Amino acid sequence: MRTRNAIRPRKTGIMLVGILLLVLGIVMAACGLMGKSQADYYARKTNLSAGEWIDYATGKTPAPELTEEDYRGRNLNASGRAKNTVLEQLQKVTGFDKTVMPLRYVLMIIGVLAVLGGAFLLISHDVWPMVTVLAIIFYLVFLIYPLYMLLRQALLNSEGQLSFEMYEKIFSKAYYSNAIWHSLLISAVVTLVSVLIATPMAYIMSTMKIRGAGVLQILILVSSMSAPFIGAYAWIQLCGRNGVVTNLLSQIGIQLGDIYGFKGCVIVMSFQLYSLVFMFISGAFKSMDNSLIEASESLGCAGIRKVFKVVLPLMLPTLLAGALLVFMRAFADYGTPMLIGENYITLPVLVYKEFFSELGGSENLAAAISIIAIIITTGVFLLQKYIANRKVFSISALHPVEAHKAKGVRNVLAHLYCYIMVGIAIMPQCLVIFNSFRNTNGRMFAPGFSLKSYAEAFNTVSNSIWMTYLMSTISIVVIVVIACMIAYLVVRRRNVFNATVDVMSMFPETVAGSILGIALLTAFNKRPLLLAGGMFIMILSYTIRRLPYTIRSSAAILRNISPSIEEAAVSLGTGPAKTFFRVTTPMMMPGVISGAILSWIMIITELSTSIILYNPSTKTMTLEIYSQVIRGNDGVASAISAILTFSTIIALALFFRISGKKEITM
Amino acid sequence: MSVGIHFDHVVKKYGNNTIIPDLSLDVKEGEFFTLLGPSGCGKTTLLRMVAGFNTIEGGTISFDSQVINDIAPAKRNIGMVFQNYAVFPHMTVRQNVEFGLKNRKLPKDEINARVNEILETVKITEYASRLPERLSGGQQQRVALARAIVIRPNLLLMDEPLSNLDAKLRIEMRNAIKQIQNDVGITTIYVTHDQEEAMAVSDRIAVMNYGVIQHVSTPKSIYQRPSNLFVANFIGHSNTIGATADGTAGTLTFGNGYTMEYDNFEGVEGTREVKVSVRPEEFIIQEQGTPGVTATVKSSIFLGLMTTYFVELFNGETVEITEKSSISNIIPNGTEISLGFEKEKINVYTTDGEKSLTKGVIDDAHA
């Protein structure tokens, strides 16, 4: 592979000065802005004007006496605790402000100039170092800083001192340590079950002709793309305490075992996640050369022996990669154990409960548990990378594996197996769509069919429907822009800085959604960096979480585009930036857009981050389904789920249309 | 151990698409037999039918007298070398080579002895413990070859085994393959689209086009007396010139009025229009005025051993001529010349190019 050094030795000096100026400028401008925005903030919260605050902060007037009437802000009024917080805050920032305040205009002007100067120096002969710097700043502020705050939180005790008190607590109390154990156990069992279901299925569907294989593939995809907890919800409706199947069976005298707890989590997650393993192995079959299988047969090794001696060893790296992805998903799943786990508390549930609990919860404890979860998932992630890189057999697949028609019992069994497994996986979707069209009477289902649930959904929660589409669409635009640029840096401009960007951009993949949410909340719930509770932080979290996938798919596309095409453009007199936008980007677009569509689906079906970061005005569909389910409003919940499923199907159709592919690789 | 292979009215169809309409052929025991043709001519399809990876829609393929149509690939005792080698990437060279022997449940000592011997034969002993990804293309090809012949198959099949190698290695490997096949003496069917490669390795060649065998014979016979114009053009390069043949008088008359004595006709009664196929080296360049086909030199390329001239004939057609380079000057562009022919080498065909009108065509397929 060809790599090139973006920073040539001769220009390193200018480059460093440029970077320095840029960073310095941003810091100065930010400081300047901070002084002003803080004054504005306090002015909004109280009856003092910004000018009076600035006078106070610069020491011209003494600290004002605040009375109850001074507080108008929603969060502050009539709360003694909040009032104290404001005063504490004030005292903390005063020292800083006293020096910064008078200088703020100067700072801002110099800052902006420095930024412009630095940017000019960087762009003057190549635009990419500038992108590198911006990417690093982006990840430092929105990923590293929140994780640092989370870690700090985890290492503070209730008095605010550095200690391992939280960890002592976690490992001494079974309630906490059990959650870790539960999560590990569920994830391991789910992984095993998924592999056991998916491997035979992928083998059957790759080597035998199955009627309706295309439809099955789409159903598998839809089931894997659905919101995680819809499965749990559907299983409860069927086999829960008051489920349809449970009641039917008990009428004829059969008592169905309890589906709640460990068992339920494993069933629900396995049938949702086996599709990931299936896609991985199917993909491996597509890229495996049939000659290898033929060679084995012509050397006298056929049938099941061939599978174990040739096919499985070749599949093993892919199989493990898929299995570990399932492990991570199961480990991070919040919705399923919350709904069906009941007293079987897993790690994400525990974190959520500790963080938000009104009674006896501790943010520090939640942070401490989060850190443990991050360590575990990072370990698994690294293991996956290690395995994936260790034995990659690149075989040029001249003759892909073809499906042949099987005969007799083998054929019947193969069909049965695929149909039943896909049937169970897609059952939750079918059930919620079916329920969404049932007639309702209040919160109960009534005989007959109607569109009442949809009408009610649009009447009562239309905001969350539009919010979901709005925020996911904005996020995807941001993601595509950032992903293209970072992919370009990583593939075409390999150097230490861009490798750092690469690592940082991939890291969110190892952090469970709810934990990233808590980290962001911890970092950005205070002035001057108050972002919590708005649309911005939601979009930010979606962007950070979905960037790794989009960057990876974009980078893969870029690697397939020969650098000589860009060199041709450059030799014809086009600059680096123009080359990227006029030559490289158009070639990448179909692949990037199809990757983005998948990311979009994952955003609209995501729950674990949103549930931590949302406020009433940014409630999404998944959150709405969740709260309707909790409230027992099954009709509306089903209707919104159905809308979500239809959106997913339409998006998938669009994906296949644009990409021209027949399957999805993760 | 080696077998002869008999194709008897073999048919291959994919759905309604007929790839091979009706093919009959005999490959002799111990022979190095090549299927040669342009891509899409059905040669690989036919090979895979022998191997058992493609179904046979009609007719029979038999090894000696045993019909193998319904025998599973694993039971046919065939060694196969694939285009992309298909060396198992998760096994070392040794494991790859002994794979087939282990499936035959041979005693350990014998396996070792045979593997060592074959590794020696194909000269990869020093790589025995390596994984294939650390081997070059040529070395991987040797592993694939060793793996295929170590099981002492009745028949060795090779599907364009050299097409993934670079030019120099290709020549080295094809000599090695020929050598090894000679030593082992296995009946071999070899598929390629490279006519030079085919001539270099084969005892006999079958030229195929659109699923139909055009000509089966030795490399020399196919090159010198092609059975039709397609074969003449596919093997080497040929120029085609229209002429009138007179079977009774034994003459060929060209468009400019030049009449040449020619007594090598087969099946030409009276006069008829024909196509004369002349290879670039079969022209004789003569000075202007000598009896012959008049022409003008348009351009020339000096290639060291040979010099190629592009020459425009009296009727405006361009032909290619090669001559052994001489120390004297290259004929300048624009020179008027007169062309003669090496009579015993040129071939005469019907105007549709389907049938040779020349004596001495040996074609085992249509015998």
Helix (H) or strand (E) holding A601: helix A585-604
Which pLDDT value is given to residue A3?
42
Q: Is residue A376 domain-shared with residue A482, that is, in the same domain?
A: no
What is the total residue count of chain A? Answer: 666
Which pLDDT value is given to residue A190?
95
Average pLDDT over chain B, rounded to an integer: 89
Task: Tell me: pLDDT of A74 over 50.
Answer: no
The interface residues of chain B toward chain A in range 336-355, judged by CB-CB distance below 8 A, are none
**Minimal Cα distance from B95: which residue of A?**
A309
Tell whether A296 lies on the interface with B, counting CB pairs under 8 A: yes
Domain boundary among the residues A397, A416, A435 is at: A435
A277-317 pLDDT tens trace: 998 888 888 777 888 888 888 888 877 888 888 888 888 88
Domain with CATH 2.40.50.140 in chain B: 238-349
Q: Which of A290, A297, A299 to mutate to test the interface with B (most CBs of B within 10 A)?
A: A299
End-to-end CA distance of chain A: 23
Question: Where residue A616 sits, what CATH number does that domain have?
Answer: 1.10.3720.10
Distance between CA atoms of residues A658 and A661, nearest Å: 8
A52 band by pLDDT with thresholds 50, 70 and 90: low
A392 band by pLDDT with thresholds 50, 70 and 90: low
Which residue of A292, A297, A398 is in closest CB contact with B74?
Answer: A297
Minimal C-alpha gap between A425 and chain B (Å): 34
Minimal C-alpha gap between B365 and chain A (Å): 29
Tell whether B84 lies on the interface with A, counting CB pairs under 8 A: yes
- Mapped onto helix, strand or coil, the DSSP state of residue B65 is coil
Minimal C-alpha gap between A428 and chain B (Å): 40
Tell whether A314 lies on the interface with B, counting CB pairs under 8 A: yes
Size of interface A-B (CB pairs under 8 A): 77
* Averaged pLDDT for residues A207-220: 86
Q: Is residue A427 domain-shared with residue A462, that is, in the same domain?
A: no
Which pLDDT value is given to residue A331?
92
Chain B positions touching A291 (Cβ under 8 A) are 82-86
Q: Is residue A409 domain-shared with residue A505, that is, in the same domain?
A: no
Q: Is residue A336 domain-shared with residue A462, that is, in the same domain?
A: no
DSSP A339: I
Contact A265, A228 (CB under 8 A): no
* Cβ <8 Å between A396 and B84: yes
Which pLDDT value is given to residue B158?
92
Tell whether A602 lies on the interface with B, counting CB pairs under 8 A: no
Q: Is residue A65 part of a domain?
A: yes
Q: Is residue A141 part of a domain?
A: no
* Cβ <8 Å between A298 and B99: no
Q: Judging by DSSP bridges, how do beta strands B32-36 and B187-192 pair with one another?
A: parallel
Cα separations in angstroms, B345 against A306, A563, B221, B281: 55, 51, 12, 10
**Does B332 sit behind a cis peptide bond, omega within 30 degrees of 0 on the bond before it?**
no
Distance between CA atoms of residues B302 and B318, nearest Å: 18
B14-56 pLDDT tens trace: 888 899 999 999 999 999 999 999 988 889 999 989 988 888 9
* Averaged pLDDT for residues B125-132: 89
B367 band by pLDDT with thresholds 50, 70 and 90: low
Which residue of A292, A316, A398 is in closest CB contact with B88?
Answer: A292
Which pLDDT value is given to residue B131?
87
Which pLDDT value is given to residue A100?
54
Tokens of B177: 């393959």
A360 band by pLDDT with thresholds 50, 70 and 90: low
Tell whether B151 lies on the interface with A, counting CB pairs under 8 A: yes
Tell whether B88 lies on the interface with A, counting CB pairs under 8 A: yes
A163 band by pLDDT with thresholds 50, 70 and 90: confident
* CATH 2.40.50.140 describes domain B238-349: yes
Which pLDDT value is given to residue A73?
45
Q: Is residue A425 domain-shared with residue A444, that is, in the same domain?
A: no
Chain A positions touching B141 (Cβ under 8 A) are none
Which pLDDT value is given to residue B46?
93
Q: Is residue A107 domain-shared with residue A227, that is, in the same domain?
A: no
Residue A240: give the domain boundaries: 169-435
* Averaged pLDDT for residues A269-278: 90
* Cβ <8 Å between B79 and A291: no
Q: Is residue A516 part of a domain?
A: yes
Q: Is residue A217 domain-shared with residue A311, that is, in the same domain?
A: yes
| The model scores a pTM over 0.90 | no
Q: Which of these, B19, B53, B49, B52, lies nearest to B37 by C-alpha position?
A: B19
Distance between CA atoms of residues B245 and B348, nearest Å: 9
Domain with CATH 3.40.50.300 in chain B: 5-229
Q: Which of B90, B92, B133, B157 to mutate to test the interface with A (most CBs of A within 10 A)?
A: B90
Which pLDDT value is given to residue A390?
66
Which residue of A298, A313, A394 is in closest CB contact with B80?
Answer: A298
- Mapped onto helix, strand or coil, the DSSP state of residue B319 is strand
Contact A428, A231 (CB under 8 A): yes
Q: What is the tally of structural domains in chain A?
A: 3
Tell whether B14 lies on the interface with A, counting CB pairs under 8 A: no
Of A484 and A38, the structure prediction assigns the larger pLDDT to: A484
Which pLDDT value is given to residue A212?
86
Task: Tell me: pLDDT of A99 over 60.
Answer: no
Q: Is residue A447 domain-shared with residue A387, that is, in the same domain?
A: no
**Minimal Cα distance from B87: which residue of A?**
A292
* Averaged pLDDT for residues A555-578: 77
**Minimal Cα distance from A402: which residue of B?**
B53
Which residue of A289, A301, A398 is in closest CB contact with B103?
Answer: A301
Distance between CA atoms of residues A85 and A151, nearest Å: 23
* Cβ <8 Å between B84 and A291: yes
Of B150 and A121, the structure prediction assigns the larger pLDDT to: B150
Tell whether B89 lies on the interface with A, counting CB pairs under 8 A: yes
Among A384-388, A604-608, B10-14, B185-189, the minimum mean pLDDT is found in A384-388
Tell whether A88 lies on the interface with B, counting CB pairs under 8 A: no
Among A4-18, A25-39, A314-328, A537-551, the minimum mean pLDDT is found in A4-18
Contact B69, B48 (CB under 8 A): no
Tell whether A315 lies on the interface with B, counting CB pairs under 8 A: no
A1 band by pLDDT with thresholds 50, 70 and 90: very low
Chain A positions touching B99 (Cβ under 8 A) are 296, 299, 301, 309
Domain boundary among the residues A435, A467, A486 is at: A435
B309 band by pLDDT with thresholds 50, 70 and 90: very high
* CATH 3.40.50.300 describes domain B5-229: yes
Q: Is residue A420 domain-shared with residue A511, that is, in the same domain?
A: no
Q: Is residue A333 domain-shared with residue A397, that is, in the same domain?
A: yes
Which residue of B83, B88, B104 is in closest CB contact with A310?
Answer: B88
Chain A positions touching B144 (Cβ under 8 A) are 295
**Minimal Cα distance from A299: which residue of B?**
B100
Q: Is residue A454 domain-shared with residue A552, that is, in the same domain?
A: yes
Q: Is residue A424 domain-shared with residue A449, that is, in the same domain?
A: no
